[in-house]
Amino acid sequence: MLDIKYIRENREAVEAGLAKKGVEIDLDEILDADQRRRDILVEDECLRNRRNEVSKEIGMAKKAGKDIDPQKKEMRKVGELISELDKKLKEVEARREELLLRVPNIPHESVPVGKDETANRLVRTHGEARQFGFNPQPHWDIGEQLGIIDLKRASRMTGAGFPMLCGMGAKLQRALIQFMLDLHVNEHGYREVLPPFLCNTAAMTGTGQLPKMEEDMYKLPEDDLYLIPTAEVPVTNIYREEIISDELPLKLTAYTPCFRREAGAAGRDTRGLIRVHQFDKVEMVNFVAPEKSYDTLEKLLAEAEDVLQRLGLHYRVLELCSGDLSFAAAKCYDIELWAPGYNDWLEVSSCSNFVDFQARRANIRYRDENGKTRFVHTLNGSGVALPRLVVALLENGQNPDGSVDLPEPLVPYMGGLEKIEPQKTS
């Protein structure tokens, strides 16, 4: 969340930042609640000081053998007033917190200003689109012909948007996960974790999924648990309510399944593996000192790009405009892969800097070189998401005979297999 002191002292800048995101927030209501809180604290402090004075007066009166009934009555009255103020304070703090949790992060000054994705800025393009001597097929046709994707049976058991990979398809997915984890751990300096796949309301609130995006998540209401929409949630919350004792930066990576309702999704994106409710992803999360976070964002982006470069894929990097930023992000890059059969770009990674926004919500701190406690800066990036990576590999690697060539780095993970050919299925 935003620092209430920053909002008080920089109201115009906050309003300008919110306007860039296309968001309307009543700051008056937040600042009024904050002022009520501050007024209550001042009154409470005065009453507690008076209670201390009366306590001393009672002690002196006792020693002098004087009547202490007047002081005792005042003491009771002051105590009652303090109790009433404590109740009011809890109410106004809860209200202020509720209001602050609905305020998005404001964009960094370097973020291009725009209303929606049409204003995103192209940063660079890597590689060239493959030229085919035949009409490239979409991945759903390739997968069906190879016997590695079974959407019909998956739909019967769960519903649309929950794909099933079979045989070499399942092995390819597993190989990609292992390849990415090994790369991030062995070469990019990450420590691997395997977190829970469900998180509670506090964890979801800490990273900014709640209250904003509740309708997009799957919830187990009887247990106050949500299926995670991304590993960002549990991995970031590892240090919730803690002062980090390890030296910064901390770099953690994790594989998890992810679950999203994708409320309102429709159209051709729902066909095949493009937009699904359950998918696998390898995530990278960084905890860094504030002065390092924007340099770290560029490094994080390079680490995600490294995955795609090693796989020989054609991609582009976009810097998101202010109106296309997520609720919690101050700056974000998207990486999109070219899918020739689908004939479009597919987002496969988002690399975001949240600055101290998540850390304030989750109360994640560290001690700087002077021993002062400060909020850490958090970043995360998909490193990368599946199954769109599978889509790009199938569509870019397809051959006229129906087989699919595999990138060389995956061959060891596929048991020496260099291409996927049609399988016998039942």
**CB 263 within 8 Å of CB 356:** no
- For this structure, is 350 an active site residue? yes
Candidates 244, 234, 160; CA nearest to 195 is: 234
Query: Rounded to whole angstroms, how far apart are CA atoms 19 and 28?
Result: 15
The residue assigned the tokens 């949240």 is 354
Q: Which of 293, 349, 388, 395 is catalytic?
A: 388
Query: Rounded to whole angstroms, how far apart are CA atoms 321 and 281?
Result: 24
DSSP state, 275?
S
Residue 412 CA neighbour count, 13 Å, CB half: 4
- For this structure, is 388 an active site residue? yes
Q: Which of 96, 260, 361, 365 is catalytic?
A: 260
**CB 229 within 8 Å of CB 203:** no
Residue 231 CA from chain centroid, whole number: 8
- For this structure, is 24 an active site residue? no
Listed in sequence order, the DSSP H helices in 11-26 are: 11-20
Which amino acid belongs to residue 163? P
- For this structure, is 260 an active site residue? yes
User: Could you tell me which residues come within 8 angstroms of residue 267 by beta carbon, excluding any fewer than 6 positions away?
Assistant: none
**CB 116 within 8 Å of CB 324:** yes
Which amino acid belongs to residue 258? C
* Burial profile 286-317: b = 16 or more Cβ within 10 angstroms, e = fewer: bbbeeeebbebbebbbebbbbbbebbebbbbb
Listed in sequence order, the DSSP H helices in 101-167 are: 139-146, 151-157
- For this structure, is 155 an active site residue? no
* Burial profile 382-397: b = 16 or more Cβ within 10 angstroms, e = fewer: bbbbbbbbbbbbbbbb
Q: Which of 15, 57, 144, 347 is catalytic?
A: 347
Helical (H) or strand (E) element with 178: helix 168-186
Rounded CA Rg of the chain: 27
Q: Which of 240, 275, 360, 365 is catalytic?
A: 275
Residue 196 CA from chain centroid, whole number: 15
Q: Which of 349, 350, 352, 382 is catalytic?
A: 350
* Inter-CA distances, 43 with 73, 87, 280, 298, Å: 20, 13, 54, 48
Count the neighbouring beta carbons within 10 Å of the beta carbon of residue 65: 7
Count the neighbouring beta carbons within 10 Å of the beta carbon of residue 42: 10
User: And the tokens for 400?
Assistant: 């006229």
347 - beta bridge partners? 336
> Which residues does the annotation mark as catalytic?
260, 275, 347, 350, 388
